[in-house]
A and B are shown apart, each in its own frame.
Chain A
Amino acid sequence: MIQELTRLPGVGPKTAQRLAFFLLAQPIADVQSLAEALLRARQNTRQCGVCCNLTEEDPCPLCSDSRRDRDAICVVERPADVQAVERTRDFHGRYHVLHGVISPLEGVGPEDIRLAELLRRLGEGTCREVIVATNPSVEGEATAMYIARLVKPLGIRVTRLASGLPAGGDLEYADQVTLSRALQGRREL
Chain B
Amino acid sequence: MIGPPSCAPWDTATPEAKGETPLPTYNQEAVVLRTRDLGEADRLVTLFTRERGKVNGVARGARRAASRLAGSLQPLSHIRCQLARARTLDIITQVELIESFPSVRGDLTLVTYANHFLELVDVVAPEREAGDLFPLLLGGLHLLAAGVDPGLVSRAFELRLLAAAGFGPALRDCARCGRPVEERGDLSFSPGEGGVLCGECDGGALLRRSVLAALIYLQEADLRQIGRLAVDERDRGEMEGLLRAHLTYHLDRPLRSLAFLDTLRRGER
**Interface residue ranges, A against B (CB under 8 Å):** 9-12, 14-15, 102, 104-105, 107, 109-110, 137-138, 141-142, 145-146, 149-150, 166, 169, 173-178, 180
Q: Which residues of chain A come closer than 8 Å to B66, judged between CB atoms?
A: 166, 169
Give Cα distance in the complex from A21 to B69, angstroms.
36
Q: Which of B97, B118, B122, B263 contacts A109 (CB 8 A)?
A: B263
Q: Which residues of chain A come closer than 8 Å to B263, judged between CB atoms?
A: 109-110
Q: 6 tightest CB-CB pairs across the interface, nearest first?
A: A10-B40, A177-B71, A175-B71, A104-B260, A145-B108, A104-B257
| Binding stretch for chain A, among B72-80, B163-171, B209-217, B220-228 | B72-80
Q: Is B112 an interface residue (CB 8 A)?
A: yes
Give Cα distance in the complex from A101 to B126, angstroms.
29
Give Cα distance in the complex from A11 to B41, angstroms.
11
A22 to chain B, nearest CB (A): 14
B75, A105: Cβ atoms closer than 8 Å: yes
Q: Which residues of chain A come closer than 8 Å to B70, judged between CB atoms?
A: 175
Task: Given A9-B40, A138-B75, A149-B267, check contact A109 B108 (CB 8 Å).
Answer: no
Give Cα distance in the complex from A149 to B76, angstroms.
22
Q: Is B115 an interface residue (CB 8 A)?
A: yes
B267, A150: Cβ atoms closer than 8 Å: yes
Q: Is B34 an interface residue (CB 8 A)?
A: yes
Q: Which of A109, A177, A180 contacts B260 (CB 8 A)?
A: A109
Give Cα distance in the complex from A150 to B259, angstroms.
18
Q: Which residues of chain A come closer than 8 Å to B267, judged between CB atoms?
A: 149-150
Give Cα distance in the complex from A12 to B1, angstroms.
7
Give Cα distance in the complex from A145 to B8, angstroms.
30
A174 to chain B, nearest CB (A): 8
Q: Which residues of chain B come closer than 8 Å to A102, judged between CB atoms?
A: 260
**Interface residue ranges, B against A (CB under 8 Å):** 1, 8, 34, 39-41, 65-66, 68-72, 74-77, 95, 97, 100, 102, 105-108, 111-112, 115-116, 118-119, 122, 256-257, 259-260, 263-264, 267
A142, B112: Cβ atoms closer than 8 Å: yes
A-B contact pairs, 14 of them (CB 8 A): A10-B39, A10-B40, A104-B260, A105-B256, A138-B74, A141-B105, A149-B108, A166-B65, A169-B66, A173-B8, A173-B68, A175-B95, A176-B72, A177-B71
A178, B71: Cβ atoms closer than 8 Å: yes
Q: Which residues of chain B come closer than 8 Å to A110, judged between CB atoms?
A: 263
B112, A104: Cβ atoms closer than 8 Å: yes
Q: Which residues of chain B come closer than 8 Å to A12, judged between CB atoms?
A: 1, 39
A171 to chain B, nearest CB (A): 12
Q: Which residues of chain B come closer than 8 Å to A145, judged between CB atoms?
A: 106-108, 111
Give Cα distance in the complex from A29 to B235, angstroms.
74
Query: Smallest CB-CB separation from B118: which chain A residue?
Result: A105
B130 to chain A, nearest CB (A): 19
Query: Smallest CB-CB separation from A179: which chain B residue?
Result: B71
B40, A138: Cβ atoms closer than 8 Å: no
Q: Which of A10, A11, A104, A176 contacts B100 (CB 8 A)?
A: A176
Task: Given A12-B39, A105-B257, check contact A175 B72 (CB 8 Å).
Answer: yes
Q: Which of A10, A137, A138 contacts B1 (CB 8 A)?
A: A10
A11, B1: Cβ atoms closer than 8 Å: yes
A104, B71: Cβ atoms closer than 8 Å: no
Task: Given A175-B97, A176-B100, check contact A138 B119 (CB 8 Å).
Answer: no
Q: Which residues of chain B come closer than 8 Å to A175, judged between CB atoms?
A: 68-72, 95, 97
A120 to chain B, nearest CB (A): 17
Q: Which residues of chain A come closer than 8 Å to B75, judged between CB atoms?
A: 105, 138
